[in-house]
């Protein structure tokens, strides 16, 4: 109504699992969420709604874990999503704290049911990552290979599994694996608040934009002064930044 962006369709889908996020990946444990996005959801919308069914008129956006999904799906499928805007993404790369410092490894190693870890803070979140990227359907009840090994009450890193986890999960690890694909994106932007309560996100997003520059990948990146709620409301970043970015880069045809 304010003519910030031409008429468009916003599609918001549920990508959640019993532990929370699916991380938008195909997994034999949690489901094929990448396939759901690109092989089911997009074709369904294009078939049943009056869309402009091309990458030049289709964007993917998200915030936080949704922003991770926007980056992941955009990087892996630039033939489906032509424009990407990631708001305050997580999982972009190594943070200040070591990856293994967050979970309660004893809890994850000795859990006798999934219910024991469904409300365990960082341990729950990290287990969702392991189910997505280190799945093992033969290891009930959590169905994962942990990236650590237990030795007399200690949990040293299993280097082989950590390599697998990082290479499959971190956006910064996906970038060099898919350079030519990324360069087919029409437009890419990431932003984040410098006041994020988890500084690892600030650190890793700063590192990501430097990495993209190192590989000559055109993109926009902005660290803004504000809080997480800066995205929402009438005078929000959605209104002032996200929608204008989409309006600039999406082809709208003869609407």
- DSSP class per residue in 81-105: --EEEEES-S-SS--SS-GGGSS-H
Sign, CA dihedral 89-226-203-20, equals negative
CA–CA distance, 72 with 122 (Å, rounded to integer): 21
In this structure, the number of other CB atoms found within 10 A of the CB of residue 47 comes to 9
Residue found under tokens 């209104």: 239
CA–CA distance, 247 with 5 (Å, rounded to integer): 5
CA–CA distance, 56 with 253 (Å, rounded to integer): 10
Whole-model pTM?
Answer: 0.95
Q: What is the pLDDT along the chain (255 residues), one digit of tens a residue?
A: 888 999 999 999 999 999 999 999 999 999 999 999 999 999 999 999 999 999 999 999 999 999 999 999 999 999 999 999 999 999 999 999 988 999 999 999 999 999 999 999 999 999 999 999 999 999 999 999 999 999 988 999 999 999 999 999 999 999 999 999 999 999 999 999 999 999 999 999 999 999 999 999 999 999 999 876 788 877 899 999 999 999 999 998 755
Q: What is the pLDDT of residue 1?
A: 83
């Amino acid at each position: 109504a304010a003519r910030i962006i031409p008429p468009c369709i916003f599609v918001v889908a549920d990508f959640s699992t019993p532990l929370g996020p699916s991380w938008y990946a195909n997994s034999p444990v949690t489901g094929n969420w990448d396939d759901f996005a690109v092989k089911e959801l997009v074709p369904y919308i294009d078939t049943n709604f009056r869309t402009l069914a091309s990458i030049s008129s289709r964007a993917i956006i998200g915030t936080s874990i949704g922003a991770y999904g926007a980056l992941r799906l955009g990087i892996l499928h630039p033939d489906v999503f032509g424009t990407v805007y990631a708001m305050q993404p997580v999982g972009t790369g190594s943070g200040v704290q070591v990856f293994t410092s967050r979970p309660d490894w004893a809890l994850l190693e000795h859990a006798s049911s999934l219910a024991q870890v469904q409300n365990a803070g960082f341990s729950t979140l990290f287990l969702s990552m392991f189910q997505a990227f280190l799945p093992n359907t033969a290891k009930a009840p959590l169905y994962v290979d942990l990236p650590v090994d237990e030795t007399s009450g200690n949990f040293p890193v299993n280097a082989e599994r950590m390599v697998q986890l990082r290479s499959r999960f971190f956006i910064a690890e996906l970038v060099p694996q898919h350079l030519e694909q990324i360069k087919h994106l029409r437009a890419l932007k990431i932003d984040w608040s410098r006041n994020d309560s988890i500084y690892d996100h600030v650190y890793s997003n700063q590192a990501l934009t430097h990495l993209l520059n190192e590989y000559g990948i055109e993109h926009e990146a902005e660290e803004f002064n504000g809080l997480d709620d800066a995205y929402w409301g009438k005078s929000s970043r959605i209104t002032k930044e996200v929608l204008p970015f989409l309006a600039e880069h999406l082809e709208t045809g003869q609407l």
